[in-house]
Copies of this chain bind each other. A is one copy, B any other.
């Protein structure tokens, strides 16, 4: 096939992250989330609803007698766990953990059926019913996650037991689903297998897997609609009959290449788009690539919160429509922002445009890591931009907007997704194309990269995102000139770049500064980006943010919390020209830059608690001065529960 591949990420093991910001989170994922999840998968967490995940595999293998337990997609939990484990092993070998994972893989594979089938829900509930509800029963979704876990584990350890088993399962699926007559012309209700199959193709080089991925994309939404026929044939329930999006919930309302708007379940959407980008870059399919660009544009430029959150509505956990970004009835699932990062890194793999890195960075530093408490013990599915505890408690429309992160759920989705993302952070930082190394993210650490002319290795020193100074020290480099392409973030308005002590004016294209040079060991590249606090406005088409500003510093979105500023945050105003002081508080949840500014609060002078309406001429608003303390959004809800807001009124 005709690849449209521009750059590849570096192997995760070649990117050693050492800087506190990300390393702390990665360690939290490795030392807290992964072990906790293993206990959860085995129903050993006191007080938590059982997962049944491993028990299902034991039962499916005939080792114990038990009914299927948990959600229809319960198998995917161990798959995500395995994937996170695999990534962690790439940067933190742990023979004991590897042994546990090997055992889990043995348990999984033991449940495999003679024809390769491997989904415990149908093994335990009747194999005759398999493939009768692709729309809602997540078989292909679980398979997708299993493939991702198997590929990662193979890459981490060289062990291919699960990979081989999954190849057999894919072959079994291939026999039942596909374009040929007599096969089901189906595709998954919850996407992910598309990108998983491309990864399987990448490690096995077997084109049939890429073909199957492409088939799932091409068949999706075609008329007559498979999901509709399947629903009729098997008497399945169609959950979205009363919705406005109907089959668009599954991104199946029309053929993928015709889709103009990000629509339906947000996680599914960005998982699909990621798979489409994968297939586009591996096949050079231009209309698929155009589809990606169009859907990318609609997603990030018309339907994305300033935190990188996507999915405006809890109903269907879905997109609503362009510029509809309510801050309080929001969904903005952690997993959806993770999926957006998947989409972004794939778009970067096709074309090096800073906007992809900008969105990735926005999601990573804000709406994704807000999903986990600093102790790694509790999680947000929903990441609101405005919270009023009384609303969350008493208004059903806001009941899904939690004021505190929740403990692990029986059906856990976001926590293991966060774990696999954090453990693979290295995969998002760099891209290699021939003799060019792209730096998408500034992570402190040590990295080596195989360029066409040879290996380059270097140290990165930075306090990013707390300041914009990045010092890259070359440890070794090929003697031939190579190119370092540094992303100049979209938030940055002023920077200096020095190479070996000399200020240079780099060639900047599409958000990357290109420096071509025969680098010598010991040479330093120093990028100094000014990082003042900035007030941010939303497009006037975003009704919810009119008359409001958000506060950002570098890639970090700030918020006001009740713990610092009292309640009634909806009554806080800042001046459009307000200035901020900043100080780094090393003790604040691992260290964070804290901002302070003047502000005003709409007073209730002239109003008693029992007067709802007055004439403006008799009760014109008055304001009282108030000192405001701003913390990074991702750190909200680590203290006493209370109000929080990102968008603040401006005078």
Residues of A within 8 A of B (CB): 243-245, 297, 300-302, 304, 306, 312-316, 320-321, 324, 329, 388, 390-391, 393-397, 399, 493, 534-543, 546-547, 549-550, 568, 570-571, 576, 602-604, 607, 609-617, 619-621, 649-650
Contact = CB atoms under 8 A, between A and B. Distances in A.
**Oligomer: number of copies:** 2
A539 B613 contact: yes
A243 B615 CA distance: 36
Contact of A321 (B315, B395, B535, B603): B395
Nearest to A649: B547
Contacts of A612: 300-302, 304, 306, 538-539, 542
Contacts of A568: 541
A621 B320 contact: no
Given A536-B615, A609-B302, A616-B549, A316 B396 contact: yes
Given A395-B320, A607-B540, A617 B534 contact: yes
Contacts of A602: 540, 546
30 contacts: A243-B396, A244-B394, A244-B396, A245-B394, A302-B610, A313-B397, A315-B395, A315-B396, A315-B397, A320-B395, A321-B391, A324-B394, A324-B395, A329-B329, A493-B615, A534-B615, A534-B616, A534-B617, A536-B613, A536-B614, A537-B613, A537-B614, A540-B607, A541-B607, A541-B609, A546-B570, A547-B547, A550-B613, A576-B616, A576-B620
Nearest to A548: B547
Q: Which of A304, A316, A615, A649 has the most CB of B within 10 A?
A: A615
A397 B329 contact: yes
A402 to B, nearest CB: 14
Contacts of A550: 613
Contact of A388 (B313, B543, B607): B543
A616 B535 CA distance: 5
A102 B549 CA distance: 65
Q: Which of A301, A391, A397, A619 has the most CB of B within 10 A?
A: A397
Nearest to A605: B540
Q: Which of A245, A304, A397, A613 has the most CB of B within 10 A?
A: A613
A21 to B, nearest CB: 23
A643 to B, nearest CB: 10
A195 to B, nearest CB: 25
A617 B571 contact: no
Contact of A613 (B297, B306, B399, B649): B306
Nearest to A306: B613
A301 B614 contact: no
Contacts of A493: 615
Contacts of A304: 612
Nearest to A245: B394
Given A301-B611, A571-B546, A649-B547, A313 B539 contact: no
Given A329-B397, A615-B537, A610 B313 contact: no
A216 to B, nearest CB: 27
A535 B615 contact: yes
A315 to B, nearest CB: 3
Contacts of A320: 391, 394-395
A356 to B, nearest CB: 15
A537 B306 contact: no
A534 to B, nearest CB: 5
Contacts of A616: 534-537, 549, 576, 650
9 cross-chain pairs, A with B, having the tightest CB-CB distances, nearest first: A315-B396, A535-B616, A543-B570, A301-B610, A321-B394, A320-B395, A540-B602, A540-B604, A244-B394
A321 B539 contact: no
